[in-house]
Amino acid sequence: MAEVGADIGRVRIRLPSKISKGEVIRVRALVTHPMEALSFDKERKPVPKNYQFVYKIVVTYNGKEILQAETTQAVSQNPFIAFPLKVAEPGKLVITFTDTHGKTYEGSAEIKF
């Protein structure tokens, strides 16, 4: 039986099956993460603690940063991101998710023509 939470941090990236030079493609990525939600006490005040959620997403293509995004606790469990990318040359696409506890989760995909 798999360990509970064993998939946390797993990054999945989907690209079109056929890609042509100069084409604008849609990149889709998902990271497995619980995205801890804000808790409230009986007086409906936020419980002070260091909540764990993905707050930063960085995308690089052939080593060059092409996208950076910041998120909040309002993002659901297992955050999903999609964005257009014009592919001028083959190369490596890397997507890195960082959470508030300092953990980073990285996935990569090779773009080929």
For 9-62, the pLDDT digits (tens) are 999 999 999 999 999 999 999 999 999 888 889 999 888 888 899 999 999 999
Which structural domain range is residue 99 located in?
Answer: 11-111
DSSP state of 3: P
The answer as to whether 56 is a domain residue is yes
The answer as to whether 21 is a domain residue is yes
Short-list 92, 93, 96, CA closest to 68: 96
Structural domain count, the chain? 1
| Residues 65-72, mean pLDDT to the nearest whole number | 95
The answer as to whether 5 is a domain residue is no
The answer as to whether 18 is a domain residue is yes
Contact 32, 80 (CB under 8 A): no
pLDDT of 87 reads 96
What's the order of all strands across the beta sheet hosting 80-86? Answer: 11-14, 24-31, 80-86
Residue 2: pLDDT band with limits 50, 70, 90: very low
Residue 5 has pLDDT above 90, yes or no: no
- What predicted TM-score, i.e. pTM, was given to this entire model? 0.88
The answer as to whether 6 is a domain residue is no
CATH number at residue 28: 2.60.40.10
| Residues 77-96, mean pLDDT to the nearest whole number | 96
Structure tokens at 100: 């508030």
pLDDT of 91 reads 97
Short-list 39, 73, 38, CA closest to 53: 73
